[in-house]
Structure 1
């Protein structure tokens, strides 16, 4: 009887560890959406497509240079940052200035259009043939105790997620640019009166959001197939985690991602993967009902 209980505990332990690791990666996927929405009040519906483009950039750099995907991330992140900066500066900024409301929800169409365009351009140029990145460590699994093991590339991805979250939190909390971004998020009119160039910091926010997509794309490219629809496959939980964690809460993204990952993994173990996915939405609805501002979000004043 005791052996049966111990065996059951080992199974639960393995599922929880798997959920925590994948949850960290889910949280990383949400950071880009969070920074853009938290500051600009725009839901970036192109996030999944930007994630997919980042995966293709990583694949291209690895294929052309033979370098490690984690090194290729140092190329992809600046490229995506510059793309986000340029798109915000040339396309979103003029639309933003025409808005009469404080929260320009009409710009949703702009980011949605960007996502559709990127996905279809990629499909036209690169077709739907799946690509994969092969590394020597892909098939290595790390023993995490009690007979459970986790893929090494996923553990590395979780470490990158935690490091990225900590770096972004420190940037937003300690640097002048981060404090200016937070001031702009709270009240852009007041920030403008204090001498902050709001539109310049909006450029920065969108660039950071796209740069984080490149980091997440690097992580996913090490264990997911790369296709024009990859972004939708791996990034669909980002908006759920955004609401669960609380808008403008950087640590909340990571913690909500871990919660969702554990619920998904344990649900899949007890039932099946479909039930696990459904349980994620049940948690989402419950949090919306009892905590509309998210688990770690602040109430509007």
Structure 2
């Protein structure tokens, strides 16, 4: 197990380096310069040149990349071009807010998805299977932003039961502001619920058709122990998908955080794109991509711990 873990850690290093190179290159493909956008029209060429030198935009791209990567490895992402605030502080605050949504949405979506998939598979062909399969398909098919708008109209505009936007009073602890979390969490959990539910149903149905299930039943095992064996065999692919879905929850919440005005990484990324704030943009994408790679690494290790065949 230690050899497998070490091998996967070494494989993650070039992946992260490749991710950083792609992020740096893609951000600089867009035409224009953020300094040109921020400086007033009457600014002299000397002042503009000084600003570009201060942010390192006057150097060749390969030098900018090496300097940026070296600082990023130490946690120094520079300062924002827009407000001159340290990027790391803004990013950590936004990442903490996004993790609140992602963790709660993952807990809700994964739990419902596993429950829906198991019940549907164990009632294959009967009405619970048809109803729950339709629910899972609906969860996958509905656009996030459209469902978010419908929830806001229903529970905030027409009924005034829940707040429509924001996180509430920052001076209060989170548990006293849970009403602000309900709508974005329900919206974000919709797709993971549907995706996990469909995979669990398909995987459990496949396992139910295997010979060892019949052998366990013939030995006199009750439904509970047989179900535990089924769940153990279904766990590796489900764990892999859960890791991917959690990564999507972290990185794919731009529209949801914009709709609910939630100050997370999605909202920060959206503002950085419109402001051409390259330091914030690079740091946010790099951190989210690194989370995605590390999540896949943890999922691979968890799969190998559950199923020893994966280590070979």
State TM-score, norm by structure 2: 0.31
Higher relative contact order (CA 8 A, sep 6+): 1
What is the TM-score when the length of structure 1 is the normalising length? 0.32
